Amino acid sequence: MKSNPLIQLLAVFSRKEVTRFKDFVYSPYHNKHRGVRLLVGHLSQIYPNFTEKSCTREGLFQILFPDEGHDQAKLATVFTYALRLAEQFLITEQFREREGLHRVLLLQNLRQKEQNRYYQKVLKTQSRWLEGQTYRDGAHFNRRFLLLAEADLFFSEQARYSKGGSIQRKQDSLDHFYLSEKLKDACEMQVRRRIMQQEYQNPLFEALLAEVAANPSQYAAVPPVVVYFQLYQMIRHGADADYRRALEVIREKAPFFPKRELQNLYNYLQNHCIQQINQGRRHFLKEIFELYKFQLEDDLLFINGYLPEWHYKNIVSTGLLLHETAWVRDFIEGYKKHLPPDVVDNAYSYNLAFYYYETQQYGRVLDLLVHLEYSDLRYALNAKLLLLKTYYDLDEYETLLSLSDSFRQYLQRKKEISDFNRQGYYQLLRFTRRAIQIKMKVGYVARERLRGELQKLRAEIETTNTRFGQAWLESKLREIEGMVA
């Protein structure tokens, strides 16, 4: 029964949600089935330990029907009813978070029951609440449209038209919501078109784009239209001026967006910086580093109270590329406590080792990594690469060859590594071995011959599709070229 949909769903509930679900099930308004109450009460009691032993069919049936022989169909019926209640509970919980929607539904009901005075009181209260909200994202204009559409229907039924009626404001809100969503989707389409090589049909968009471009003052007070319009320009054209303007309007309009959407806006900026860096525009390293620091200050990189490990790693890597070594060292230590508990040891030790490597403290790299086995495959692979680079820089020729052999065996043994990644690591190992073999010959073999071997190695690298560690390998080849010049 551990794989039953109900038990799997409860397993991802928080303790608070489990308690609220139990209260929901025990309410006679929602449920009068005694077996369902007993089942949910028992599952709430053993939460979160839903083991094979605690969730056997026979054991659960005896708890629900102690005086009866086992009947799997009867047990399945109770589980089905309980699962339906769990679905209703999730809908209700989500509904509670959407005050604007449930107030509109209340107004619809009051209108249908012809409770006109009470309707107008609720409408006035809801209008004040809506206008008092801080956020002016697309969802806000959607809520405003729904409220104004309901109000317009009410006054139409009452034949109470006025020059200041709600129909114009209803249309304005609809336009603002529509434009916000179209521009938002257009940004995502541009990104996916580049990543997935997929075309999308958006026949009305060019006209909408022209409308916004021709009337900037009209939409200046609609933050999502302003922000996503400028982001679209940045993503589509990629000009530095477009990036600057997008960054400017996002910072200006930031107070009008909820945290999750603001994180997504900054993610567009980060991805643009990464794209520019990959094209060789190294000054964008400074741009993305400043984006990271700004988001750290405003807690925009945190998800569910933790700093994701990939942000931790990217910030360390970027800071070290900019030689911000003191700042990076403080960051590694200061933000260790903010990492998710299940990855903190791996993430901290690897990034500290990477810091030591980039600051040429090779002995400390070895102290951290030689006897450490990572449970996470990604960190295990990165750590082995870091060791490989360290042995190279220490001219530990024999040790590097030994590691290269064991690394190759590791790649063969780990079936979960994709063929693309496995081939990329194989190529890097092969090229690194070739590079150190040439390096160790310096001073013993004619320079002209070594230059020929370097040229041949470069030609092989150029014809390889999977170029893992390309920047590092290129730097090592340049070092050797300097030695044999």
pLDDT tens by residue, 390-404: 999 999 999 999 999
**pLDDT at res. 479:** 92
CB atoms within 10 A of CB 46: 12
Nearest to 147 by CA among 132, 168, 162, 130: 130
Vertex 203: Cα angle to 262 and 247 (nearest 5): 25
Element (H, E) at 112: helix 99-112
**pLDDT at res. 463:** 86
Low-confidence ranges of the chain (pLDDT < 50): none
**pLDDT at res. 129:** 93
Nearest-10 Cα torsion for 190, 247, 208, 216: -170
Domain edges within the chain: 5-96
What's phi and psi for 442, nearest 5 deg?
-60, 130
**pLDDT at res. 301:** 95
**pLDDT at res. 165:** 61
Q: What is the pTM of this model?
A: 0.80
**pLDDT at res. 198:** 80
Nearest to 467 by CA among 434, 425, 437, 435: 425
